Amino acid sequence: MTDKTVITMPSITAAIKAQRFLRARGTACEIQRAAKVSKAGCTHVIIVNGDAKSTVRMLRENGLKYGIVIQDANE
């Protein structure tokens, strides 16, 4: 079973950069408009087929901006 992780993104540009980065590394993901704007102003989410911890680590280590993990299938 594949884990699904949803991460808020601070902008559509950040979401596209993260999507390209993750797809280049073989991680399936998609961008969706958030149902509502978060308190931090995030308007989009990226839905990743993968573990939350490893996904966030990859984004952080490569200087890609992201918001918060709002859903993790492991929790």
CA gap 40, 8 in Å, rounded? 9
Domain extent at residue 68: 1-28+54-75
* Residue 49 located in a structural domain: no
At residue 47, the pLDDT reads 95
**Which stretches of 1-75 are assigned E, i.e. beta strand?**
4-9, 29-33, 44-49, 69-72
Q: Give helix 12-24 / helix 52-61 axis angle, nearest 10°.
A: 110
Is the full-model pTM beyond 0.85?
no
Residue 35: its pLDDT value, please?
79
Residue 2 CB contacts under 8 Å (≥ 6 apart), including other chains: 49, 50
Domain total of the chain: 1
- Per-residue model confidence as pLDDT tens digits over 3-51: 889 999 999 999 999 999 999 999 999 999 987 766 666 789 999 998 8
- CB burial of residue 36 (10 Å; 0-12, 13-18, 19+): exposed
- What is the predicted pLDDT for the residue at 51? 87
